[in-house]
Structure 1
Amino acid sequence: MRLISLFGLPFVAALASAAVPFKGCQHKVKESIHGPPRGWSRHSPAPKHHMLELKIALPQPKFQELEQHLWEVSDPSHPRYGAHLSKEETDALTAPHPETLDIVNEWLASHGLAEESLIRSSANDWVTIRVPVGLAEEMLDTTYYIYKHAKSGESIVRTTSYSLPEILHNHVDLIQPTTMFARFKAFKSTLHWGNQAQPPVLSTSTGTITGPAGNQVDASCNSSVTISCLKQLYNSVAYNTSATNGNKLGLTGYLGQYANNMDLQQFYQLENPSAYGSNYTFVSINGGLNNQTYAAAGIEANLDTQFGFGLTWPTPGTFYSTGGEPPFNPDMLTPTDTNEPYSYWLDYVLSQPMLPQTISTSYGDDEQTVPFTYATRVCAGMAVLGARGVSVMFSSGDFGVGDGDANPATQICYSNDGLNVTKFLPDFPASCPYVTTVGGTVNIPETAVFFSGGGFSNYFVRPAYQEVAVSEYLAKLAPGTYEGLYTPYGRAYPDVSAQAMHFAVVYQGQTIPVAGTSCSSPTFASFVSMLNDARLNVGKTPLGFLNPFLYSSGYTALNDITAGNNPGCGTQGFNATTGWDPVTGFGTPDFEKLKALVLSMP
């Protein structure tokens, strides 16, 4: 088990002579895993001429300084609150040491890779190269194989260990794709979500229910969640957003998830007629597409855009489509095999001078399928976004404390370290301490939805901002509860929650019910976007990284969820209770209360 605080990532500059003798230099293992995660099996050696796009992460020696900026500009009680950094400032704080650049450049050149063949990130902390498998194996002293995933049928080219010349070890954090088997799937509850179109959502409920804000909510919202339902439930019916104050909402799409524009317009006609005819900005990253044929429509992408942009209209919206997992067919020798969507997305957004103030993502995977080094670097990228004033939300996952490969009541969850220890399986990036993670609720009055992902990271230690709240929760557990199944001092999640079932989404021209924390994250993010709108209207800065605010005072403006649990791994999981809990966090938004609170801050 490897828990770290990203405060003070180690960097040791290795002094080198002007000429580094890479040829013949002894290699030393840089990273290895016990074997492929459960569900993956080795198929055959990778063809030597198959092209790999390798991303090389270089150390960020000033990250500790950047993190200190993040804490200060995100803490409402600090004099620097809201003084977010610029792109140029964060680039300077994440740039590698010049000596690192020199040594890595010389190593690449020794393998025939000249500067013009390299792709560098904005801060020069990532270098991307395209090389055939044969050359990658020579550079990394390894052997690549084709691995197949039994359940999905996917094939990828990976290795379980790679090495570098010893002189490079302090100058390279990681190289991928090598040991990473994460699929970064969309968070959709397979217990509720059919891949085929279902009958239209119809509700026969009449009358009203008293919501948590004391206002009346249509009773039909217990069986079909609409934009109107969410605005009623979360107390924002009276608020109208602006299209002219610079506020923007960003939504991400991966794995070939396309947002169908005809479905979006049909959704607007049904749920927000004022938005009918409006559009969003489409941004393609790493070859990401947005195929507009009905057959290519993605339920996840439709859900995100319909509810995210529908709730916040007329706030301008951006939909990022990131390529990174082409349908690799080992027999057809597909030209390039990657599967690193988050690093490609981060590369792009961090290179932009202006960003949406609020961004939601509904994708992730078991933390243990993501190499520790990769997880820490992607998480560090999220810290950069926070320092720049972006509120980043992620879904908490849809399988309680487990991984969703079996009935949660009987599912057995194992570690992937060769020991096959029974343990809960946290999700990533939900477990990153620099994002706001959103769990799920259901019904009115709200309770925790049973698939709401939650728990404790095995990679990241609990950040200071949640020490009091999480300690109070753990103190309520009976002694010995789930002892050994989770890491009690790990980063705990989720932070907040929102509705996660019965969302009425238009898909291929039909209205279907959708469930999952894929619903929760864009929903909560939409209300955060409205809060940013309110602050910008009075000349204040956007909220940026939310968690220091949420854990210090923001929780007082949330609806506490005190019933429900998140079963998995053959257990009942954790329970929702008064205060923070690892099922629903601090609860769901009360927009008017939150607005009053954020407008009272600097």
Structure 2
Amino acid sequence: MRVKTCLASIGLWGSATVQAARHGMQAFESIHSAPDGWKPAGAPNPGARLDFRIVLVPVSAPQRPWPLPLASSTPIVESRILSGTNVSDPNSLAYGQYLSQDQLRDVMRPSATGKKAVMEWLTASGISQQNITLDGNWISFSSTANEANFLLDTEFLSYRSTSKPDMTIIRTRNVFLPQSVVQYVQMVHPTTYFPKAPQAISPAVQYSRKVEDINSAVPCEKYTTPQCLRDLYKIGGVVPNNDTSGFIGIAGFLGQYPSHLDLDMMIEKTSPWAKGANYTSYSLSNGTLDESRPGAEASLDIQYTVPLTYPMRSVFYSTGGRGELVPDLNFPDQASNFNEPYLEFFKHILDQKDTSNIPHTISISYGEEEQTVPATYARTVCDQIAALAVRGVSVLSGSGDWGPGSTCQTNDGKNTSRLMPIFPASCPWTTAVGATTGYAPEQAVRFSGGGFSDLWPQPWYQKEAVDGYLSQLGDRWSGLYNPKGRGFPDIAAQGTAFLIIVSGKEGGIGGTSASTPVVASIVALLNAQRLQSGKPTLGLLNPWLYSLNGTGTTDIVAGGSEGCSGIGYKKAKTNRIPYASWNATKGWDPVTGVGTPLFDQLLKSLPTCDTIKQTPVYSVAVGPRNVQLSMDIES
């Protein structure tokens, strides 16, 4: 799991450095100062062109306060679709009645009033109509630096990289919006975001030697292999049919890319049943497609999903760029920005009209501390994941590799001690995957990330399970986390000593980035089985997973996580929280979730017509179409 944290005092709203707004304007977003690694280089050319994207609040969203309270939900897609349609509730007749792209666009469309207000604001501020593109609730436009200054009541400056003096960008530290439009805008991107030049991550992997004894068995006591995982999690008995089983998608970020040659060697050494297996690659936003320099992260993802799901199709999406960053103590400069471009990746998937072009399962082995991602950006990405759920897609992401936290210090200028949740695992519409180690029995591994979100409240599907854990926890860590927040992870799997082959050399790697493709592969096989049986995919897994009450999983009750040691990334000094940890306990816990999967039992426990309650269903108009909504809507 590639997790990052950072430094600099930042607040989204109300920073002491926020400039005074002109009449009728309201603070929308701000950062305390430009992150280390960037220095102001004067005003840009007034005619310099800037490209922006605005995400509008859907008409289905409830009225929201502004500024948004940090530790509360911003229900947009989820309030109307996931809680409203019950398409992800296995106890509802609406279960599996997923939306088409057109139906989803109807639900996510902006209000006519909001769209009109924002468009009038843009044109009245000097933005030419021909430079504005409206796509659903997304508005893209270009402007000059001067126009952007007036539009957002701010001052864009040129900033020069201290490590690469020839690299300059144009950014601002404060964003204001008219009071007449602020309630209709969810995100303006990019404004306070300072990117970094692409560079490969250097994972902690020790490559031992060239691959030898290609036909020899690899003992599970030494390395975790696909065969070890098949045996441990009872994976078998299902052979996906490529014509009807759909496909699994693997997200690739940060210049990471796998190698077909390495995959062939890995399969020959560890997975003979998958001989001849392959994968397809797609480049999004100029993503890397260079097999001459494969990355350990991408190699890990492909070398486990491909053999575990064989002969199902596997698609690797290489997405270029970097996501938004709010620096904190571990990563004080943008040269350390490893935030992933989730926005571009998820939007590409959602833009596919034909469901045959959409993976039914997505594995994401990346993440960052929740506080380092601008809240407007994080909520927009989480809404996209919710939108994928109502199109029948199961999204899984790693829970992080720093236990209860690494920085353990807020970046709001107060430097308050805090246990740190990980994004996007903290988004309620992902299935977050923790890590275990050992075989007899499995136990929680100390680095397995977990905790409680500071952005999203506890979702309905995990209330009983998480409240049970909190009642055992009592006052321990009181004030250091949000007990009303979404708890994660949801599930776990092996996460240590994974054998991989990179550039012809074998070595070991671990992390929740190893656990995630394992669970994603199991979910992909379940989704394939449902498709082959003429049934809809599982979509959002969590309501079904928690409703099983332990069936289909092995409860992990030994071990625990560790973190908050006072030493962060690159030896940065951080707040120390003595003995900070989450322990594995009976039932759900914030280190292994509900436990590790047993494929054979999960297969038998898939939702069927016999298990669905006869909940009354009525039809509610959504735009020009009707969507089936259950009456037992969760609040």
With the length of structure 1 as denominator, give the TM-score of the two structures: 0.82
Displacement of 1:100? 2.3
Match of 1:491 among 483, 486, 490: 486
Letter in 1 for 2:563: G
Check whether the contact 1:535–1:599 (CA below 8 A) recurs between aligned residues. no
Q: Is residue 57–residue 175 contact of structure 1 (8 Å, CA) maintained in 2? A: yes
Worse-matched range after superposition: 391-400 or 98-107: 98-107
Q: How does 1:371-410 map to 2 (within 5 A)?
A: 371-403=374-406
Partner of 2:268: 269
| Rounded Cα–Cα distance in structure 1 between residues aligned with 2:167 and 2:372 | 15
Equivalent position of 1:32 in the other structure: 30
- Summarize the Cα distance change of 1:65–1:110 in structure 2 as closer, same or farther, 3 Å threshold: closer
Residues 13-412 of structure 1: pairs in structure 2 closer than 5 A: 26-35=24-33, 40=36, 42-45=38-41, 48-49=44-45, 52-63=50-61, 67-71=79-83, 72-121=86-135, 124-131=136-143, 133-144=145-156, 146=159, 158-180=171-193, 193-194=204-205, 197-199=207-209, 220-292=219-291, 294-295=292-293, 297-325=294-322, 341-353=341-353, 354=355, 355-403=358-406
Q: How much has 1:370 moved relative to structure 2?
A: 1.3
Report the secondary structure of 1:564's partner residue.
coil
Whether contact under 8 Å (1:503, 1:514) holds in the other structure is: yes
Amino acid of the residue matched to residue 27 of structure 2?
A: V
Counterpart-to-counterpart distance in 1, 2:197 and 2:381: 13
Partner Cα separation in structure 1 for residue 89 and residue 537 of structure 2: 13
Contact 2:200 2:256 in 1 (8 A): no
For residues 465-523 of structure 1, the C-alpha deviation after alignment (integer angstroms, 9 at most, x for no partner) is: 1111111111112x431111111111110000111111111111111111111111111
- After superposition, the Cα gap between the structure-2 partners of 1:428 and 1:115, relative to the gap in structure 1 and judged at 3 Å, is same
Distance of 1:584 and 1:429 partners within structure 2: 17
Compared with structure 1, are the counterparts of its residues 187 and 258 closer, same or farther at alpha carbon in structure 2 (3 Å cutoff)?
A: closer
Q: Tell me the distance in 1 between the aligned counterparts of 2:103 and 2:536.
A: 17
Q: Which stretch has the larger CA shift, 241-250 or 274-283?
A: 274-283
Q: 1:224 to 1:525 in 2, by over 3 A?
A: same
User: Residue 438 of structure 2: which of 428, 436, 443 is its match?
Assistant: 443
Tell me: CA distance 1:473–1:55, structure 2 relative to 1, closer, same or farther (3 Å).
Answer: same
The CA distance in 1 between the partners of 2:604 and 2:278, in whole Å, is 30
Q: What's the secondary structure of 2:209's corresponding residue?
A: coil
Q: Structure 2 residue aligned with 1:453, among 449, 452, 456?
A: 449
Question: Residue 227 and residue 513 in structure 1: after superposition, are their counterparts in 2 closer, same or farther (change >3 A)?
Answer: same
Percent of aligned pairs with the same amino acid: 38
* Aligned equivalent of 2:542: 547
Instruction: Measure, in 1, the Cα distance between the counterparts of 2:342 and 2:545.
Output: 25
Deviation at 1:143, TM superposition (A): 3.3
Q: Please give the alpha-carbon distance, in whole angstroms, between the structure 2 residues aligned to 1:116 and 1:223.
A: 62
**Range with greater deviation from structure 2 (339-348 or 585-594):** 339-348
User: Are residue 592 (structure 1) and residue 600 (structure 2) matched?
Assistant: yes
CA contact 2:238–2:529 (8 Å) conserved in 1 = no
**Which stretch shifts more, 224-233 or 275-284?**
275-284
Retained in 2: the 8 A contact 1:498–1:524?
yes
CA gap of 1:576–1:339, structure 2 versus 1, over 3 A, is closer
Q: Relative to 1, partners in 2 of residues 1:120 and 1:503: Cα closer, same or farther, differing over 3 Å?
A: farther
CA shift in 2, pair 1:263/1:62, >3 Å: same
Change over 3 Å in CA distance of 1:248–1:367 after alignment to 2? same
Q: Establish whether residue 504 from structure 1 lines up as the match of residue 499 from structure 2.
A: yes
Output the CA distance in 1 between the equivalents of 2:208 and 2:218: 22
SS of the aligned residue for 1:363 comes to coil
Cα deviation digits, residues 178-222 of structure 1 (max 9, x gap): 2346989999996xx23x74436899xx9xxxxxxxxxxx99213
The alpha carbon displacement at 1:557 in A equals 0.9
Structure 2 unmatched runs, 5+: 1-21, 62-75, 324-336, 566-578, 613-635
8 Å CA contact retained: 2:431, 2:491:
yes
Tell me the amino acid that sits aligned with residue 28 of structure 2.
Answer: K
Q: Deviations over 1:231-260 (max 9, x none)?
A: 011001443222121421011111211122
Deviations 1:251-294 (A, max 9, x none): 111121112222222222223334444432322222223112x2
Q: In 2, distance between residues paired with 1:511 and 1:155?
A: 40
Give, as a single letter, the amino acid of the residue that structure 1 aligns with 2:94.
Answer: R
Q: Distance in 2 between matches of 1:30 and 1:234?
A: 48
Query: Contact 1:47 / 1:133 at 8 angstroms: preserved in 2?
Result: no
**Partner SS for 1:421:** coil
Structure 1: distance between partners of 2:593 and 2:196: 26
Distance, in Å, in 2 between the alignment partners of 1:363 and 1:227 is 21
Label 1:595 to 1:340 Cα distance change in 2 as closer, same or farther (>3 A): closer
Counterpart of 1:372, as a letter, is A
Aligned residues between the structures: 536
Q: 1:459 to 1:189 in 2, by over 3 A?
A: farther
Distance in 1 (alpha carbons) for counterparts of 2:602 and 2:228: 18
